[in-house]
A = this chain, B = another copy of it.
Amino acid sequence: MAVQISIPKGTRDFLPAVMARRNFIFDTLKDVFRLYGYRQIETPAMENLSTLLGKYGEEGDKLLFRILNSGNFLQDVTKEELQTGTPASLSSKLCEKGLRYDLTVPLARFVVMYRNELTFPFKRFQIQPVWRADRPQKGRYREFYQCDVDIIGSDSLLNEYELIKIIGEVFKRLNLKVTIKLNNRKILTGLAEMCGHPDKLIPLTVAIDKLEKAGKENVISELENVGFSTDQIHMLFSFLDISKASAGFKEIHHQLLQQNLPEILKKGLDELNEIFRYLSSESLSCSVKTDFSLARGLSYYTGTILEVVSDEIPFGSICGGGRYDDLTGIFGFPGLSGIGMSFGADRIYDIMDQLNRFGEKNISGTKVLVTSFGGDSLQMAMDTASLFREKNIATELYTEHQAKMKKQFGYANALNIPYVIVIGETEMANKQLTLKNMITGEQRTAPVNEIVDILLS
């Protein structure tokens, strides 16, 4: 009688083949982050709700997974509260902890808690799962990994330059063609000012952020609805079009500075220009372009805003981030600025999968299966496996030595193990091994050291 078993909706198990590919992505990110001097940290899955609540808006608060207090969780709740309480009021009585929702709020909390132990600028990366009680749908999960890299306590635009190089290096190693889009919050603020609506920065950016998805017509009518005149909208779009121009940014920058623009807009353009100047001597493996409509929901960004999209498959953003002037103000320590970005491992996985970009050579796995058939040959099989492992060759010994040869070869086939060793009477007598290449079907009998050389080559 089988028990009905399942896992919570929106969560996933990762089987070995998928896990190996995911590890390839995570390891690539870690290697590149470390190459640039970022250091890994980890924070607990559970945070106090007082740390999490109010940081992600009202909608975000609802999406937090809350942990029921352990022991007698009813002890601080009166009968009356139980009768009259709403889910929101009661949940705060029943729960003190929640699962982390992202890695940014934990980072802010971490930086404030350990500010006296950390050396600034603090360059950290963090790769851990986060949990959101979102409605699960295709490509959206309730548990997923975030891969964040941030530098805290530095205003220098050299950090932007280095993060862009990190993006270039990551996607070069992953063999994906991407474009990095750049904008600056100051440009958006300046645009609102230029159009005569400095107070309408939020509706303006909400509208133009949709340009790609919703189309120009819809954005125009949304802008009209919030009070932009036809002239203002025209002025806005002429400006947005500039960022799509094919000229290098240096020329665009030069041209724009001739115009009578709001100071803050000029400042934003200057910052972008400095980043491009830093990049000018680099041979990046991806293209970098400006997009003045890029807002990424604005959130807490105050300077540079960046986003990465695939050139090969339209898939939305696969990496995004920006500069913030005040990460830790929410925890009572204002003034720590920084810049960071987050790689979307699930989307990167899906793109690589669709494009067949997981070179199987990159995916570590068992290199050779040593079959075993008991009797006298077993000791030789054991010794062979030991020797291979001493040479750092990932080796399996088939431990069910009563199994037929067909079954043992079937095991190697099913698991894509590329080589199989067979030790029969002749091999034992001659102190040789027979190596079968499972891909080409070729077979070779030779002394152990020659076989080792083949496996290592």
A residues with a Cβ closer than 8 A to B are: 1-3, 5-8, 11-16, 19-20, 23, 34-37, 39-48, 51, 62-63, 65-68, 70-74, 79, 82-83, 87, 90-91, 94-97, 99, 109-110, 112-114, 117-119, 121, 123-124, 129, 131, 133, 142-143, 151, 154-156, 158-159, 161-162, 165, 169, 278, 281-282, 330-333, 364-366, 369, 372, 379, 382-383, 386, 389, 392-397, 399-401, 411, 414-415
Report copies per complex.
Answer: 2
Can you list 28 pairs linking A and B with CB atoms under 8 Å apart? A2-B332, A5-B113, A7-B44, A8-B46, A8-B48, A8-B96, A11-B45, A11-B46, A13-B44, A14-B41, A14-B43, A15-B117, A35-B395, A37-B394, A37-B396, A37-B397, A39-B365, A45-B129, A66-B67, A68-B91, A70-B133, A73-B91, A74-B90, A156-B399, A156-B401, A165-B386, A169-B389, A282-B386
Q: In the assembled complex, which residues on chain B have CB atoms less than 8 Å from the CB atom of A333?
A: 2
User: With a CB–CB cut-off of 8 A, which chain B residues contact A156?
Assistant: 399-401
Which chain B residue shows the least CB distance to A13? B43
Q: In the complex, how many angstroms separate the beta carbon of A398 from the nearest chain B beta carbon?
A: 8
- If A46-B8, A48-B7, A400-B154 touch, whether A395 touches B117 (CB-CB below 8 Å) is no
| A-B contact sample (14 more), CB < 8 A, given A13-B44, A73-B87, A281-B382 | A2-B112, A6-B113, A7-B44, A11-B44, A11-B45, A11-B46, A16-B40, A35-B394, A37-B366, A71-B87, A119-B411, A121-B399, A154-B399, A281-B379
Chain B residues with CB under 8 Å of A13's CB are 41-44, 110, 113-114
